[in-house]
Structure 1
Amino acid sequence: MMKPEFENIKLNKNAEKMRFEIEVNGHFAYIDYKETTHLIALIHTEAEPELAGTGAAQAVVEKTLAYIKESGKKLLPYCPYVFAYLKKHPEWTSIVDESFPAYSQLSN
């Protein structure tokens, strides 16, 4: 679960930098993405060093998954961090596109 201090921080879809991001005290946690008409691929999750261990990376993942769910698009979780999160939280499997190569590993 996301830490309470992140709940009211707005997710920004930064189209210029091609990343979903949250800003915490002037520092960013973000996920690089690629997008098509029906799919959003999450490539890499990162938090600036100042946010290490704060839960910011997990918060940006949860907010981004919620965004994808609301958008009606399907997810391609290429980012290992996102993939590991999905394995621990199978309730999100429904938004993963079944064409994703490791899809079968999520439903175990």
Structure 2
Amino acid sequence: MYCQFSTNEDKESKKLIHLDMNYEDLTVVNNVQAHNFELTVNGKKSFIDYKQKGNKVYLIHTEVPKEQEGQGIAAALVAKTFQYIEENGLKIVPLCTYVAHYLKRHPEWNKIVTA
């Protein structure tokens, strides 16, 4: 299983939006029943779909509402999910291409990656 993320042609305007947004005060929610880590921004839910086996969390798919793409929400969601996973003594298996891409830009999180 994998996920895909898209880029928009209008990257410059999206960078400006990203610089103005602050997601530090938002909390990621582990929706165990839906197997989602969720982050709600302006009433719209973004999520990472996952499966868990023991202490391994398989991150399968990241999704942000179309109208909120390019605002840094996916990156905030992944970072907050990684913090949750680390705080709970879990490890990740990154199956989602966006999560794998995030890990390349943030190798400090490789400490929670397992096979």
Taking structure 1 as the reference length, the TM-score comes to 0.84
Instruction: Quote the RMSD (CA, aligned, Å).
Output: 1.5
The CA distance in 2 between the partners of 1:88 and 1:24, in whole Å, is 23
SS at match of 1:6: coil
Q: Give the percent of matched residue pairs that are identical in Structure 1 and Structure 2.
A: 43
1:47 offset after TM fit, Å? Answer: 0.1
The CA distance in 2 between the partners of 1:59 and 1:43, in whole Å, is 17
Aligned residue in 2 for 1:84? 101
SS at match of 1:30: strand
Aligned residue in 2 for 1:69? 86
Q: 4+ residue stretches of structure 1 with deviation over 4 A?
A: none
Q: 1:21 aligns with which of 15, 21, 38?
A: 38
Higher relative contact order (CA 8 A, sep 6+): 2
Structure 1, unmatched stretches of 5+, are: 101-108
Q: 1:40 aligns with which of 47, 57, 70?
A: 57
1:87 offset after TM fit, Å? Answer: 1.1
Structure 2, unmatched stretches of 5+, are: 1-17
CA contact under 8 A between 1:33 and 1:43: conserved in structure 2?
yes
The CA distance in 2 between the partners of 1:50 and 1:20, in whole Å, is 20
What is the number of equivalent residue pairs in this alignment?
Answer: 97
1:50 offset after TM fit, Å? Answer: 2.1
SS at match of 1:22: strand
CA contact under 8 A between 1:29 and 1:57: conserved in structure 2?
yes
The CA distance in 2 between the partners of 1:47 and 1:60, in whole Å, is 9
In structure 2, give the amino acid aligned to 1:96: V
